[in-house]
Amino acid sequence: MIKRVLAWVDERTGLGRFAEAFLFQNLPGGSRWRYSWGTLLLYVFFLQAVTGFFLWTAYSPSTQTAWESIHFIQNEMTGGWLLRGLHHFGAQAFVVVLVLHLLQMVIYGVYRAPREVNFWLVLLLLPLAIAMSATGWLLPYDQHGFWASRVPIGIMGVTPVIGPWLQKIAMGGSSVGHHTLTHFLALHAGLLPLIVALVLGGHYYLNRKHGFADAPKDCGCPDEPYFPAQFLKDAAACLAVLIVLLGFVLVPLWQNPGAAPGVHLGAPADPSEQYSAARPEWFMLFLFQFLKYFPGGTEVWGAMVIPGLVMTVLALMPFVAKWKHGHRFNVLFIGVLAVGALTLTRIALVQDSKDETYLTAKEHDRRSAERMRQLVSERGIPPSGGAALLRDDPFTQGPKLFAKNCASCHRFDGHDGTGRMPLNTYTVRAGDTWESIAEYRFTKPEQLRDLNKSLGGRALKPGDQVTVYARPWAPDLKGFATREWLAGLMDPARVDGPRFFGGTKFKDGKMVKWVKKNCTSEKAGDLKKVIAALSAEARLKSQAGPDKADAELIKQGRALITGDFACTDCHSFGKKDPDATAPDLTGYGSRAWLLRFISNPNHADFYGKRNDRMPAFADKKILDAKQLGLLTDWLRGEWYVPPKNGTK
């Protein structure tokens, strides 16, 4: 019965005869591992098509949904991280297999007649693979994808004559946006795979038509049919590749069970948020490095002319091989290319591993990505997209706002909020020494010498340009209004130091004098109460516990503020004192107090006319209400913190 059905089908379609010819094709000289490359390439493409299709079913190409849908695939959908991981590493495997296949064809001379077209088809896959990869980066629309794809898009623009048009068509407008994503998806999931499939199909068909290779001479190996010997080798090779890919996805998970599974998804793309670690995929790093050697205006040589010439030489290989030493030349040429590409890749990697900016940007990206995961799990993604979550997050924005607006005078734990030390250049005047310059900036002479290694530690001459840590002109705000911070302020040894009033005009002011006179060790017990009472005014989240526990202490402290300590001689506390000359202590350090203070320190409730140099950030419209809120919340340590054990 089954035989009759098969015969019926075969008679009408020829499928049976085709399958038989296909499976039992005779291989002169028997099966060989190196005949598996073509099948392997086909297999990786199949893997990409399958994983890509299923990614596509859950992907949404627009600037507000691209990152968001990938985040959902990766973190919410069952097995999504595995799917994305396989697709990610599969893309790299395709390139690796392709290049090895090409090398193999050249080394064994498998491009000779009648296999020229076969060889060209494999060559054609090189630019196609690059195009697949370059269109694929952008799709997750994270910082890395966004910034890394700017470069190929930019390079497209230097194409002679049609460059600008080409660029505009690719982007679907004059800047990266919705249509860039829709275009790239249509190319990445539609047109390019279709072309690759046709080329691969053609390659495989010709492979079978001409046989995998000429029968090896004087080997004495017997012929074998394709099935089962070669089939087995092919299947084993495919499975080996699959295992390697699974390893890449799964091993990190096993090494680091707490981390987010799957390949890295950065923070959502933000055109105003710099990402200084934009690099292409590792297999294209050599092209990236190559471009560095082309000075301005000659880029088109590095990006197009030379790669074009190399491709031409490769394409002519079958003809070159006809000359006496042609084949040797070809092998030498491709060898030089391979060594050159590896060398360039190595240089690029070594340069990056020493590049401070690159490493900082990488680290920053890792942290923002982690932060995004926390915020998304806490708040969910709003319709305007995930980027808004980061823009409204004090933990992310606070340090940046501080660095830009406050760090020219204030410090945060000694740095500018983001971990950098603000630097200045200083022109040495007569009489300056390392020691005097260092002292003025509250730093040590050794630190200054370290910053200026080029001077070799020699004595300074007037006119020398030295790099110096900027002098802090105002208090360090790390832990502002906490008990520790106030204890420092009311410490005679520290009050006029760099962390408090040392850089301000209040260095010799009333408060400093009062602290030096009154905050003596005999009064330590009472001082503790005053500090607890004042700090409780801030209602800091981090101090909620102690504030509650020490209610009695705080009550006594409040009495001392108005009583023995006589803070109210200058400050208001509890009720408004129209004669107060120093900042109001009612609600000191609370959100409302700090917001008002930053908005306008010149207000009579704060420093009034005696304000040193602090700008009125709201009244002068330096910061808007949202930025002020973010900065205030960050200074007070108010941001979403994920529960310690609740992470997946």
Cross-strand bridge partners of residue 514: none
> Applying CB under 8 A, does 191 fall inside the site for another protein?
no
Among residues 238 and 277, whose Cβ is nearest to another protein?
A: 277
The 8-class DSSP code of residue 393 comes to: -
Site string for another protein, 505-534 (x = CB under 8 A): ------------------------------
Task: Provide the sign of the torsion angle of the four alpha carbons 511, 517, 521, 527, taken in this order.
Answer: negative
The phi-psi region of residue 172 (left if phi > 0; otherwise alpha if psi is between -120 and 50; otherwise beta) is: left
Among residues 174 and 645, whose Cβ is nearest to another protein?
A: 174
> Applying CB under 8 A, does 32 fall inside the site for another protein?
no
Among residues 151 and 334, whose Cβ is nearest to another protein?
A: 151
Residue positions counted in the chain: 648
| Listed ranges 204-212, 476-484, 550-558, 613-621: which one lies at the site for another protein (CB under 8 A) | 613-621
| Listed ranges 88-96, 113-121, 492-500, 619-627: which one lies at the site for another protein (CB under 8 A) | 619-627
CA gyration radius for the chain?
A: 34
Cross-strand bridge partners of residue 415: 412
CB of 456 to another protein, least distance (A): 16
Among 214, 281, 355, 569, binds another protein (CB under 8 A): 355
Q: Which residues contact 589 (CB under 8 A, 6 or more apart)?
A: 480, 481, 535, 537, 538, 540, 636
Q: How far apart are CA 41 and CA 205, in angstroms?
A: 13
Among 343, 357, 427, 542, binds another protein (CB under 8 A): 357
CB of 296 to another protein, least distance (A): 4
At residue 551, φ and ψ (nearest 5 deg) are -55, -40
In which element (H, E) is residue 468 found? strand 465-469
| Listed ranges 160-168, 238-246, 255-263, 518-526: which one lies at the site for another protein (CB under 8 A) | 160-168
Among 69, 396, 405, 627, binds another protein (CB under 8 A): 405
Among 16, 28, 30, 177, binds another protein (CB under 8 A): 177
Number of residues interacting with another protein: please give it, by CB under 8 A: 57
Among 32, 34, 112, 168, binds another protein (CB under 8 A): 168
Among 256, 274, 427, 436, binds another protein (CB under 8 A): 274
Q: How far apart are CA 279 and CA 146, in angstroms?
A: 11
> Applying CB under 8 A, does 504 fall inside the site for another protein?
no
CB of 430 to another protein, least distance (A): 21
> Applying CB under 8 A, does 408 fall inside the site for another protein?
yes
> Applying CB under 8 A, does 22 fall inside the site for another protein?
no
In which element (H, E) is residue 375 found? helix 356-379
> Applying CB under 8 A, does 342 fall inside the site for another protein?
no
462-481 residues near another protein, rule: CB under 8 A = 467
Residue 611: count of CB within 10 angstroms of its CB: 15
Q: Which residues contact 206 (CB under 8 A, 6 or more apart)?
A: 115, 117, 118, 121
Is 40 within 8 Å of 234 (Cβ atoms)? Answer: yes
For the chain, give the longest Cα–Cα distance. Answer: 111
Among 57, 78, 255, 272, binds another protein (CB under 8 A): 272
Residue 214: count of CB within 10 angstroms of its CB: 14
One-letter amino acid for residue 498 of the chain: P
Q: Which residues bind another protein (CB under 8 A)?
A: 62-64, 147, 150-151, 153-155, 157-158, 163-165, 168-169, 171-175, 177-179, 270-278, 288, 291-292, 294-297, 299-300, 355, 357-358, 361, 404-405, 408, 423-425, 467, 615, 620-622
